[in-house]
Amino acid sequence: MTKKNIFIGGAWPYANNSMHVGHLAALLPGDVIARYFRKNGNPTLYVSGSDCHGTPITLRAEKLGINPKEIATHYHEEFAKNFRDLGFSYDLYTNTMQPFHKENVQKQLLEINKKGLFYAKTEMEDFCPECGKYVSDREIVGICPVCGNIADGDQCDKCLTALTPDTLKDKKCKICQTNTILKENTHLYLELSKLTGKVQEYYDKYKENWRSTAVSETAKYLKEGLRDRAITRQLKWGVDLPIKGFEDKKVYVWIEAVIGYLSAGQEAGRRIGIDFDKFIRSKDTISYYSHGKDNIPFHTVILPALLTAIDEKISKPEMIVSCEYVNMNDEKMSKSKGNLITVNSLIENFDADSIRYYFIFNNPERKDSSFSLDQFVTIHNKHLVGGYGNFVNRNLAFLSKKFEGKLPKLELDKEVEAEVKNTYEEVGKLIEKGELKFATEKLYDFIQYANRYYDQSTPWVLAKNNIEEFNRVTSNCIYMIANMANLYEPILPKHAKMIKQLLGLKENLPWGPVEYDSSVVLKEVPIMFDRLDATKVDLSKGSGDTLSVKKNNEMSM
C-alpha cells in the first residue's frame, strides 16, 4: 500500500516583534507531526515562513525612520534562528519578501481573476491633504464615539472598543495632525460570498477532525455567510497587483500570507525534488495546519475559499491543529503587562528538547494552559530527569562502569516486546489525529513501565549473583532504551540522536520496534538531562525588544 502524502503548514509569524511562548505552543505540533510522518515513510512536505508585509510593519518603520525591509529582515532572521535552535525540521522556512512568493501570489490572483471572482468597488476613504496620501485605520486618530477620549481608527485604547474610522469625530492624520478629508478610492474585492456553499461543504466534510474552538469559530462565519473582502491596500510595501488599474496598490496581507503555503510548498518541492503541483492535487494528500486560535478563520474559511477559487483539486486544510492561549501564572500574557516570555528567553535558559517537551506535554490543545517557571522545572525534573534520563543513565552507566561498556546479547521478553509494539501503535495513531498531549502521556506511561521493570528485576543485585539473569534483564532494558529514543524522536530529536550514537543505531530509523547491535561497545555515557533549579533561572535574560537593542548598538557605534 502506498503511503499518503502529507502536507504540513505551520502558521507564519508576523515579523514585527520577537516570538513569545504562545507562538511556540501553536507551532511545535507541526514539527512533531512532520517528524513522525517522515519516520512513518510518508512523502512529507513541511513549510512555513515569516509574514513580512502589512501596516504594523510600515508604521513601525515610519516611527523608527527606517525601511520596512530592515524590520522584517531583522525578525525573519531571528525567527529562523529560533526555529533552528529548537530543532524545527521545516523543509523550507521562507518569508513573504521572496521573489518566488511574490510571483506565485500574482499567478494565483490571475487564476482567481479568470474565474470572475474579483470586482472593483469605489468607496470614500480617509485622505490626508497635507501628506497627500490615503491613511489607513491605524494612521488616524479622532474622538471615540463611546467614551469621548482620543482613539485610533481601529480601536480605542481607553475603553477598548473596536472601531472603524467612520465612527470617529474630528479625524486627524496621526503623522501631521491635519484633519483628514474623504476622497474616492477604488479597491478590488474578492467575491467570497459566492464561495460560502463550497466552504460549508468543506467544513461539513472535515470538522469532526477538528478541536471544538475551530469548529465553533468556523461555524460563526458560515452562519453569517461569507462577506466579500477587499484584497488591495493603499500601501507602498507589499506584493504588487498583477491586475490593470491597481498598479498603485498592494495585495492585502490576509490573502497574500495564506497563499504563502502554496509558494513555500512549491519552492520546497523544487529544492527536494517533489512535483508540488501533483503532490498537492493528489487524492492521497492529507493537509495539516498548525496555528493559534486567533488564526483559525484564515485556515478554515479564507484558505479553503481561495484554494477552491484557484483549483478545486488542491488538498484543503483537512486536519486543523489549532490551539488555545498560553497564560502566564494564570494571568493573560500581554506586552503591556510586561509578562510576555519570549522564545529568545526560553532558549537562553533551557535545553531545546526540554522546551519542546514542556510545550507539547502542556499544550493548550483544548483549553488555555498556563506557563509557570515552577511547573516547567517540576515537569522537566520529573519526566525528563527522573523518568527518561534516569532509565537511560542507570542502565548504560552501569554497563560502562562495570562491564567495559559491553552490551549483552538480546533475549527479548514477550511482555516487553508487546509493550513496545503497542506503544508504537497507540502513539502513532494519536499523533496522526493531532492528539499530541495524549501521545506524550502514552509515552510517559512507557517510561514508567520501563522503570518499574528495572526496579522489580533488580539488575544491580543480579550483577553480583546471577550474571545470566542480569544479561537477560539488561538486554530488555537496552532494547527499551533504543525504542525510547526512536519513539521520542519526533518530540525530543536531540536526545534521540545522542542515544542512537551511543548504541550505534542508524540515523534514520523507521517508526516501529528496533533492535540494537550487541557488538557495539559503549563509549562514555553522558548525563541525559541535568536537574533544573528554579532559583538559577532568569527569564529576563533574552527578553526585551531585540530590534531596539540592535538600533541602540548601531547608534552608539
- Interface residue with Zn ion, options 110, 120, 124, 176 (CB under 5 A): 176
Closer by beta carbon to Zn ion, 156 or else 303: 156
Which of the residues 102 through 161 are near Zn ion (CB under 5 A)? 128, 130-131, 144, 146-147, 156, 158-159
Q: Residue 144 in contact with residue 168, Cβ under 8 Å?
A: yes
**Could you say which of 112, 173, 481, 487 contacts Zn ion (CB under 5 A)?**
173
Cα separation of 59 and 139, whole Å?
8
Residue 163 engages Zn ion in binding (rule: CB under 5 A): no
Supply the minimum distance, in Å, between the C-beta of residue 121 and Zn ion.
25
Q: What is the dihedral of CA 48, 54, 60, 65, to 10 degrees?
A: 110
Closest approach of Zn ion to the CB of residue 338, in Å: 23
Rounded Cα–Cα distance for residues 253 and 54 (Å): 6
Instruction: Please tell me the number of Cα atoms within 13 Å of 210 on its side-chain side.
Output: 28
Nearer to Zn ion, 80 or 175 (CB): 175
Task: Give 172 or 249: the residue with its C-beta nearer to Zn ion.
Answer: 172
Looking at beta carbons only, is 128 or 314 nearer to Zn ion? 128
Minimum distance, C-beta of residue 175 to Zn ion, in the bound complex (Å): 5
DSSP class per residue in 146-175: TT-SEEESSB-TTT--B--GGG-EEEEETT
Number of residues that bind Zn ion (CB under 5 A): 12
Show the 3-state SS of 177-227: CCECEEEEEEEEEECHHHHHHHHHHHHHHHHHHCCHHHHHHHHHHHHHCCC
Restricted to residues 328-357, the positions that interact with Zn ion (CB under 5 A) are none
CB of 325 to Zn ion, least distance (A): 25
What's the min distance (Å) between Cβ of 533 and Zn ion?
Answer: 47
- Minimum CB separation from Zn ion for residue 155, in Å? 9
Cell numbers that stand for 103 in this block: 510571483
Other Cβ atoms less than 10 A from the Cβ of 506: the count is: 9
Q: What are phi and psi of 434, to 5 degrees?
A: 80, 15
The piece of 169-177, 281-289, 482-490, 538-546 that touches Zn ion (CB under 5 A) is 169-177
Nearer to Zn ion among residue 148 and residue 526 (C-beta) = 148
Instruction: For residue 43, give the nearest of 342, 348, 222, 280 by alpha carbon.
Output: 280
Q: Which of residues 209-238 bind Zn ion (CB under 5 A)?
A: none
Residue 157's CB is within 10 A of a number of other CB atoms, namely: 12
In whole angstroms, the minimum distance from the beta carbon of 55 to Zn ion comes to 15
Minimum CB distance to Zn ion smaller for 5 or for 58 = 58
Is the CB of residue 524 less than 8 Å from the CB of residue 328? no
Region of 551 (left: φ > 0; alpha: ψ -120 to 50; beta: rest) is alpha
Residue whose CB is less far from Zn ion, 155 or 372: 155
Question: Which of 52-60, 170-178, 498-506, 508-516 is the region at the interface with Zn ion (rule: CB under 5 A)?
Answer: 170-178
* Distance between CA atoms of residues 223 and 317, nearest Å: 20
Q: Taking the complex as a whole, how short is the minimal distance between the CB of residue 56 and Zn ion, in angstroms?
A: 19
> Binding residues for Zn ion, per CB under 5 A?
128, 130-131, 144, 146-147, 156, 158-159, 173, 175-176
